[in-house]
Structure 1
Amino acid sequence: MRQLRLLAAVAVVVGHGYVLNGITPAPRVGGIPLHTLGLYIFFTISGYLITSSWNRWPNIPSFVRNRALRILPALAAVVLLTVVVIGPLATDLTLREYLSTSQTWLYLSGVLLVPQYELPGVFDSHVSPAMNGSLWTLGIEACCYLATALLGIALRRFAWIGTLVLGVVAIALALQPAGSSLESLRPAGAVCSYFAIGALACHLRVDRRHFPTVLIVGLAIGWVLLGEFNAPVATTAAWLVVPATVLAIALRSRESSSGVDLSYGVYLWGYPIQQLVIQVNPDLPVTFSVALTIVFTLAVATLSWHYLEAPALGLKRSARPEPTQRLQSKSALGATTA
């Protein structure tokens, strides 16, 4: 699944690159902007994996610790380095003005999953002054994690019913019409719905046998073509086609637990690096701008993985129970195991 997550992260970077360079709409697949499709892939995989993790080891303290070890170290690094390195280098203000502005230090709330998007005097002349527009999904994803655990505790082997209900609610939010009082919740509803679909697939023990290759390939090709002729219908069909395609690919992949996973680092760093590339050379053609961003982002993501994420995951693995303890936990939960 690492390769698929990395592909999704790169899709987010590419889509954002077009938007930040003032070229809209961004490239679309099945009527969906590339960066948005990357998010849907991320959330589908996350829903499946997080639910599987909970079902294997249904323990709140351990679950919270493991999720925090995966998310927070790299997030803290990107937020802190943004404030103390990128901000001072990119701002139009003097260093003293920059450091004395409360907005600068409010940006640090991003470490607590409450992102602020702008820094004083930074990227004010850009299409978007946002420092890192990708951070908006992290708090939502954390809420999805919490919902997974709460449903597991409250409903046990019937957690799939709660997941189904939440998925329907999320889709309803995603379909709110323009001008509705709930319109602002559409993006959150959309990504949560894909998380719920992935989680539901795990609860129902969906595996690769449920995804015949010919059927999935046909669905995916038909959906892409549909997006060229009727984007609204293709966008609706994506709730079926995208999770089916993602899970069909992911469940066929084989990977060891010790491999390199750059997807999270790419996702965190792609946006601010693209903004820096634009600041240094705003006249660079978009394809070159995006290509440079991907190269620099992969380099930074590699450092993030080796020096932050992998060591943190080592702490997570060292805290896992012995196989006999896992078996006892699974037995206690009964049919909720996946």
Structure 2
Amino acid sequence: MAGDAQTQLADPLMGQNHFTAVRWVLAIAVVLGHIWLLTTGVEPFSIHEWTASYMAVNGFFVLSGLLIAKSLHTRRDMKAYALSRFLRTYPALVIVLAVFVLVFAPLYSAEGGGSPFQSETWQYTYKVLALGDPDSAPAQIFSQNLETDFNGPLWTIRFELAAYILAGIAFMFGAVNGPWRVLSVFLLVQSVYLGAPFFIDTSALPPSVMSLLRLSSAFLLGMTLWQWPILRRPPLFVVAGLIAAFALLGGGLLGELFATFALTSLMLRAGLSKRTSVRIAKIPDYSYGIYIWHYPLLQVFLVGQPDLRPAALAIMTAPLILLVAATSWHVIEKPILALKPRSSSISKKPNARTPLEINRPTRGVDL
């Protein structure tokens, strides 16, 4: 038992870590990709066919799977888990949609199409909150721009919430409650995702099916990392090998898998450093605010200046995106997260916090 305690105390995942900074990097990668997409129609930051923003979304889901697995196995309180997931996702999202109804739709829709009382405006709002597909231009918003959707990044929110729900159900039934079980589930879902194009015409399926398989695979990779702590600190030669494998084979059938493994190894090395910087560990988590706010803000700038080049758009919008994200965190997200219930149930499994750790502050981790 003493050995387990020492192991856990040395595990940066159980205390301070740099994952908040990693999420910042992922969010910025998404923003940069969209800046080029909205101005030129293409995202230039890619290796093989995998763009930085595409892989950043995979990275978000890997981190989410790791931290959600930690939450489930250390707290073991499903009511607290469900409430925490709701408070982390919905309040800030509701504010975005409220501003859409009251500001974006009336000001930036085609003539007569943006009334707050128009049924299409409210149908879009309800659809997003009910986990429907938000990839549309409600009330003919931003119809004069190159891309006409209101907030494209919101498409991942429903898959994130679906992952939370499915993870909770799998945990209750024991499907992810052991190293070999969660590894088996990950391999099964990953195999279906990679193998489906060989057996069926995936283009005939609703796009959400393959997206669910893709993001579930990334999420389960994170859950697998929780059950296999030895994998959470890959040696530098392993990181280099994964990067080399992606560089050489990333254009093949397993290209996305190599890309996700390489990205995950880099995130783990950066996020779970043996020498944690208190300053980095304490940075506020603006990543969610950046993610859900940047797209409509970029669209607003392009309404009046459609010929803006990517660099100019980035320079003009960066302060506003950061200000809005900071406001979202300090005024909405952080105060609401303080309402999350604190469960007294601590897992007895090797991955659980030891009694010495229960009183240690946990920073930089989204539980």
- Same fold by TM (over 0.5)? yes
Q: What's the CA shift string for 1:77-120, capped at 9, x where partnerless? A: 1111111111111112247x633431111122123433533221
Percent identity of the aligned residues? Answer: 26
The correspondence of residues 32-181 of structure 1 with structure 2, limited to 5 A, is: 32-94=50-112, 98-109=115-126, 110-116=128-134, 117-155=136-174, 157-158=177-178, 161-162=181-182, 164-166=184-186, 168-173=188-193, 176-177=196-197, 179-180=201-202, 181=204
Would the aligned equivalents of 1:266 and 1:301 in 2 still touch at CA under 8 Å? yes
Q: Which of 34, 37, 45 is 1:16 aligned to?
A: 34
TM-score under structure 2 length normalisation: 0.80
Q: Which moved more, 1:145-154 or 1:117-126?
A: 117-126
- The letter for the 2-side match of 1:12 is V
Q: Which of 270, 281, 284 is 1:249 aligned to?
A: 270
- The letter for the 2-side match of 1:165 is V
TM-score under structure 1 length normalisation: 0.86
Q: Which moved more, 1:123-132 or 1:181-190?
A: 181-190
Do structure 1's residue 300 and structure 2's residue 324 form an aligned pair? yes
Q: Which of 204, 215, 223 is 1:191 aligned to?
A: 215
The correspondence of residues 251-266 of structure 1 with structure 2, limited to 5 A, is: 251-252=272-273, 254=276, 259-266=283-290
Q: Which residue of 2 aligns with 1:291?
A: 315
Task: Report how far residue 258 of structure 1 moved.
Answer: 5.8
Do structure 1's residue 214 and structure 2's residue 232 form an aligned pair? no
Do structure 1's residue 5 and structure 2's residue 26 form an aligned pair? no
Take 1:248 and 1:60, find their aligned partners in 2: how far apart are those partners? 31
Task: Report how far residue 294 of structure 1 moved.
Answer: 3.1
Take 1:179 and 1:20, find their aligned partners in 2: how far apart are those partners? 30
- The letter for the 1-side match of 2:217 is S
Unmatched runs of 5 consecutive residues or more in structure 2: 1-18, 354-367
Q: Which residue of 2 aligns with 1:315?
A: 339
Q: Which has the higher contact order (CA 8 A, sep 6+)?
A: 2
Take 1:163 and 1:294, find their aligned partners in 2: how far apart are those partners? 40
Measured on the aligned residues, the alpha-carbon RMSD in Å equals: 2.6
Take 2:179 and 2:82, find their aligned partners in 1: how far apart are those partners? 18
Q: Which moved more, 1:37-46 or 1:22-31?
A: 22-31
- The letter for the 1-side match of 2:342 is R
Would the aligned equivalents of 2:185 and 2:220 in 1 still touch at CA under 8 Å? no
- The letter for the 2-side match of 1:199 is M
Secondary structure, counterpart of 1:92 in structure 2: coil
Take 1:142 and 1:255, find their aligned partners in 2: how far apart are those partners? 31
Would the aligned equivalents of 2:182 and 2:220 in 1 still touch at CA under 8 Å? no
Task: Report how far residue 320 of structure 1 moved.
Answer: 0.5
- Call closer, same or farther: CA 1:167–1:17 in 2, change over 3 Å: farther
Would the aligned equivalents of 1:83 and 1:107 in 2 still touch at CA under 8 Å? no
Take 2:350 and 2:253, find their aligned partners in 1: how far apart are those partners? 39
Aligned residue pair count: 325
- Call closer, same or farther: CA 1:201–1:88 in 2, change over 3 Å: same
Task: Report how far residue 126 of structure 1 moved.
Answer: 2.1
Take 1:167 and 1:75, find their aligned partners in 2: how far apart are those partners? 32
Would the aligned equivalents of 2:33 and 2:43 in 1 still touch at CA under 8 Å? no
Task: Report how far residue 259 of structure 1 moved.
Answer: 4.1
Task: Report how far residue 186 of structure 1 moved.
Answer: 2.2
Q: Which of 243, 248, 261 is 1:240 aligned to?
A: 261
Take 2:282 and 2:75, find their aligned partners in 1: how far apart are those partners? 20
Task: Report how far residue 204 of structure 1 moved.
Answer: 2.1
Take 2:193 and 2:337, find their aligned partners in 1: how far apart are those partners? 34
Secondary structure, counterpart of 2:229 in structure 1: coil
Task: Report how far residue 30 of structure 1 moved.
Answer: 5.3
Would the aligned equivalents of 2:75 and 2:345 in 1 still touch at CA under 8 Å? yes
Task: Report how far residue 309 of structure 1 moved.
Answer: 0.5
Take 2:179 and 2:163, find their aligned partners in 1: how far apart are those partners? 14
Whose helix proportion is higher, 1 or 2? 1
Take 1:151 and 1:335, find their aligned partners in 2: how far apart are those partners? 20
- Call closer, same or farther: CA 1:275–1:206 in 2, change over 3 Å: farther
Would the aligned equivalents of 1:30 and 1:223 in 2 still touch at CA under 8 Å? no
- Call closer, same or farther: CA 1:162–1:233 in 2, change over 3 Å: closer
- Call closer, same or farther: CA 1:275–1:164 in 2, change over 3 Å: farther
- The letter for the 2-side match of 1:79 is L
